[in-house]
Amino acid sequence: MKFKKTTLKNELRIITAPMKETQTVAVLVMIGVGSRFETEKEAGLSHFIEHMFFKGTKNRPTAMAISEELESIGGEYNAFTSKDKTMYYAKVDKKHIKIALDVIADIYLNSKLEEKEIEKEKGPIIQEINMYEDTPIQKVGDVFEEMLYPKTNLGREIAGYKKTVSSFKRKDFVDYMKKFYVADDTVVAVAGNFQEKKIIREIEKYFSKMPSGKKAKISKVKENQKSPQVKIKFKKTDQTHLVLGIRAYNRNNKDRYALALLSIILGGGMSSRMFLEVRERRGLAYYVRTGGEAYEDVGYIATSAGVEHKNLGETIRVILGEYKKITQEKVSEKELKKAKDFVKGRSVMGMESSDEVAMFFIDQEVTYGKILTLEEKFALIDKVSVSDILRVAKDIFRLDRLNLAVIGPHKNAEKLIKELKM
């Protein structure tokens, strides 16, 4: 997959990836700022801004005007906010690329942020927060990160608090965007069937006047865990949800590819070790999976599952058994190859979709400031050996790095601490 990177005079970057075999085009704009850049008083502001960008611009004064224009051409559009990024996108039939680019550029550069719309949108966002509270399968991940990174903006939920959301005024949005929404930290990506030179000129026309500034810097998390931790969120649920994980590597660590493959071997699919042991052999859970998160400064790998309340202890023991096993025995060459092929297969399938291609490139550019092609990534994956998997497993799976988050009708954290033995 070929791509081109163009940098404007104001340091805004453009990534173009032509795909002649598709009939669609995806336009993405991403900024390297999310909830972890907020102060405590600003908690939830990055996410709120994402909502407000769809509430009206100078050229499209209402939410209806924005949605109607994209939906009238059958376009898909949305946005997301994470802890270190925010993205806006539209995907359309290739003949409507001008409309997609015009709308996405308009909401990103010209949103009105009207006080009355801000007040109205507080209600839906508070309901969104309530929705997450009632969705333990998702909420337990927030509980886990809050335990790992207490009293930091990284450990705080992306949507913020009801108190802060209710307090925001227009000035808060304007000041935050003036500080962070700068050309130096913005990337525009277009993938699909389009004329490359022409679209680069169009993007430059829209974004060349965007002000420059300094790329945002994080307050790095300091980790000093010395013993296993448990955090319980008591809730009368029909099922206990848990996340059991280990502090691991940041996203720049040289062993990140070995860690990713280790994660897949443990719980990356229906033939993974966790799925077979927890679900197929013991019938303890409907869902069980292992995955990780890698931030600029810290990271982790964790297994999540939903189980009967009475089976919590047994499930913990089974998961820990798999963690211990992978530190004691080399995985087979066959199992490692299967994990590598799993990654490659999923990656290649994603490259058939214009929005996935655009995401592949823009995410790397915002995260690392450097883009690797699929072939280059595959070469790094192929270098990982069974010895690397064992070495990484031995390095990270230690008792003093172990963490357990639970949502369900449980209160005895001390009892669960006793279960955390490697």
- In whole angstroms, what is the distance from residue 245 CA to residue 144 CA? 9
**DSSP sequence for 44-87:** THHHHHHHHTTS-BSSS-SHHHHHHHHHTTT-EEEEEE-SS-EE
Cβ atoms 37, 180 nearer than 8 A: yes
In angstroms, rounded to a whole number, what is the distance separating the alpha carbons of residues 397 and 212? 43
Residues forming a β-bridge with 188: 14, 29
3-class DSSP assignment, residue 240: strand
Q: How many CB atoms lie within 10 A of CB 311?
A: 18
| Measured distance CA(265)–CA(389) in Å, rounded | 10
Of residues 414, 401, 420, 14, the one with CA closest to residue 207: 14
Contact indicator for 86, 34 with CB cutoff of 8 Å = yes
Which residues, in sequence order, are CB contacts of 133 under 8 Å at separation 6+?
139
Q: Which of 74, 60, 147, 155 is nearest to 111 (CA)?
A: 60
Q: Which helix (H) or strand (E) holds 306?
A: strand 299-307
Catalytic residue among 38, 50, 146, 277, which?
Answer: 50
Contact 272, 266 (CB under 8 A): yes
Structure-token pair, residue 410: 């449980």
Examine the residue annotation and report whether 11 is marked as an active-site residue of this protein: no
Amino acid at 241: H
Q: Could you tell me if 219 and 38 are in contact, meaning their C-beta atoms sit under 8 angstroms apart?
A: no
The helix/strand/coil state of 307 is: strand
* Spatial distance between the Cα atoms of 25 and 77, rounded to a whole number of angstroms: 12
Residue 208 identity (one-letter amino acid): S
Based on its alpha-carbon atoms, the radius of gyration of the chain, rounded to whole angstroms, reads 23
Q: DSSP letter at 111?
A: B
Task: Point out the residues that are catalytic.
Answer: 50
